[in-house]
């Protein structure tokens, strides 16, 4: 590219030292500035990542560097006539500069659209105001959600209570009605049996007298006596009447328990024998106690302590006993049989009572069924919580029991269970509320 045909550019300046120096110094300073500016541009762009369209700065940088190089070439060609090289350098600079200009032109509307600082500040303020407003609405919504949740749980509680009180009053009325209806016929059966026993004894005495007076009756009577197996009847008749008497007695007891259990006539607060309540409840659920599959038995062990009469609503307290005992029986029904055989354990419910202090009694009901896992334990007193199949469990028994003990009797009800081993429910209530 170096051609000997060309003369260095300095000749044009007639090698006048002043003129040459002026060009050299000016071109050098321009070059210095043209190299420094892109360095600063690149530095700024690399530090400020938020600057939009940062690539245009790289384009500026490129064309400014090239401009700097062309000025450097001006200095060089003063002494070295490489005009082709300097020409091509200018051509490159022209290409890059034109491209940058084109790109900048294309960018103009976009750059103009970038909001300025006051506009950004205004936008920011508007945004902040909107966020604050939204936060307020959110807080309001949260409050409303909380209120709704509260209302919902209130509704559920009321609904549970209504269902339960309806059910229990229905059950109580039915039990009381049945007990009342059975009571009359049973009493006359019972009193008639007593009379029948007396008559039978009299008749037997008369027969003995006949036999003694006439030891040799006519053949017809001897045949008839053999036919009806008179000797057997003689022995069995009295036994039969005795067992009928026992049966009637038992029915009267059951009727009494049913009346005791429902105690519709005793809906108010009064001093009650808790043990009587437990016994009548056991009588009411006697059938359920025998309902385990494969005739598996449940042993009831009563460890009644020496406790005074307790001031309470007897029918409600009996409901609590019934719910807790029923749950224990259900738990035995769910207990796998091989577990029972493996540990050779008898299904047991232990009911114990005792005084905790001067004014408190505790009733403890312990079963050795499956127990309750910790996760389930935390929910058993919630309304509608059940682990039983639809139709079998309502999830209300323990919830209602809790309400009855804590709200109606100012007492405590809690559960302690070891999964796989059994469950203990403890009812603690004040003996008297006057203290
Ligand atoms: N003795 C117990 N052994 C094991 N689980 C029990 C026992 N008592 C209560 N539970 C658990 O507590 C749950 C709630 O009982 P409850 O409120 O009476 O409702 P329900 O009997 O209708 O399920 C039962 O579903 C059962 O999972
Ligand atoms: Mg239950």
DSSP string over 266-311: G-S-EEE-HHHHHHHHHHHTHHHHT-SGGG---EEEEE------EE
Residues 6+ apart with CB under 8 A from 211: none
Nearest to 274 by CA among 348, 365, 183: 365
Residues of each domain in the chain carrying CATH 3.30.565.10 = 266-435
pLDDT at position 435, please? 63
pLDDT at position 153, please? 87
Nearest to 87 by CA among 171, 6, 181: 6
pLDDT at position 428, please? 97
Q: What is the pLDDT of residues 48-67, one digit of tens each?
A: 888 888 889 999 999 999 99
pLDDT at position 163, please? 75
pLDDT at position 27, please? 94
Identify which of 334, 376, 398, 414 to mutate to test ligand 1's pocket (most ligand atoms within 8 A of the CB).
Answer: 398
Residue 176 and residue 181: Cα distance in Å, rounded? 9
Cβ 125 vs Cβ 105: under 8 Å: no
Q: Which phi and psi angles does 351 have, rounded to 5°?
A: -110, 115
Nearest to 372 by CA among 412, 402, 414, 413: 414
Residue 313 and residue 308: Cα distance in Å, rounded? 15
CA 332 to centroid of ligand 2, rounded, Å: 13
Q: What is the pLDDT of residues 362-376, one digit of tens each?
A: 999 999 999 999 999
CA 380 to centroid of ligand 2, rounded, Å: 9
For the chain, list residues with pLDDT below 70: 1-4, 166, 168-169, 260, 262-267, 337-344, 435
Q: Give the H or E element holding residue 427.
A: strand 422-430
pLDDT at position 4, please? 61
Identify which of 327, 374, 402, 426 to mutate to test ligand 1's pocket (most ligand atoms within 8 A of the CB).
Answer: 327
Architecture of domain 266-435: 2-Layer Sandwich (3.30)
CA 380 to centroid of ligand 1, rounded, Å: 6
Residue 90 and residue 73: Cα distance in Å, rounded? 9
């Amino acid at each position: 590219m170096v051609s000997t045909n060309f003369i260095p550019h300095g000749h044009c300046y007639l090698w006048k030292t002043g003129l040459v120096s002026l060009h050299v110094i000016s071109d050098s300073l321009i070059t210095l500035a043209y190299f420094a500016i892109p360095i600063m541009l690149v530095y700024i762009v690399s530090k400020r990542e938020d600057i939009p369209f940062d690539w245009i700065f790289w384009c500026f940088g490129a064309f400014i560097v090239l401009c700097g190089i062309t000025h450097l070439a001006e200095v060089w060609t003063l002494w070295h006539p490489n005009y082709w090289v300097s020409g091509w350098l200018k051509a490159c600079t022209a290409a890059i500069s034109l491209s940058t200009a084109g790109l900048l032109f294309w960018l103009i509307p976009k750059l103009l659209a970038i909001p300025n600082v006051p506009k950004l500040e205004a936008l920011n303020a508007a945004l902040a105001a909107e966020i604050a407003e939204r936060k307020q609405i959110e807080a309001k919504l949260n409050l409303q959600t909380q209120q709704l949740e509260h209302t919902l749980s209130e509704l559920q509680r009321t609904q549970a209570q209504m269902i339960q009180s309806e059910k229990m009053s229905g059950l109580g009325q039915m039990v009381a009605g049945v007990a009342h209806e059975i009571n009359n016929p049973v009493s006359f059966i019972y009193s008639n049996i007593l009379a029948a026993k007396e008559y039978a004894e009299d008749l037997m005495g008369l027969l003995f007298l006949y036999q003694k007076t006439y030891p040799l009756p006519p053949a017809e009577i001897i045949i008839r006596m053999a036919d009806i197996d008179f000797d057997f009847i003689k022995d069995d008749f009295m036994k039969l009447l005795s067992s009928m008497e026992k049966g009637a007695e038992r029915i009267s007891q059951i009727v009494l328990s049913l009346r005791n259990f429902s105690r519709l006539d005793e809906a108010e607060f009064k001093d009650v024998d808790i043990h009587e309540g437990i016994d009548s409840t056991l009588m009411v659920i006697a059938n359920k106690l025998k309902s385990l599959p494969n005739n598996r038995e449940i042993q009831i062990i009563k460890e009644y302590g020496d406790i005074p009469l307790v001031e309470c609503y007897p029918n409600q307290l009996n409901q609590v006993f019934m719910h807790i005992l029923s749950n224990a029986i259900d738990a035995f029904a769910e207990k796998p049989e091989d577990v029972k055989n493996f540990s050779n354990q008898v299904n047991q419910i232990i009911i114990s009572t005792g005084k905790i202090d001067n004014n408190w009694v505790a009733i403890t009901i312990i079963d050795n069924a499956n127990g309750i896992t910790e996760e389930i334990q935390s929910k058993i007193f919630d309304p509608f919580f059940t682990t039983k199949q639809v139709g079998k469990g309502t999830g209300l028994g323990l919830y209602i029991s809790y309400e009855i003990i804590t709200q109606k009797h100012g007492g405590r009800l809690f559960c302690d269970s070891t999964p796989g081993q059994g469950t203990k429910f403890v009812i603690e209530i004040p003996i008297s509320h006057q203290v």
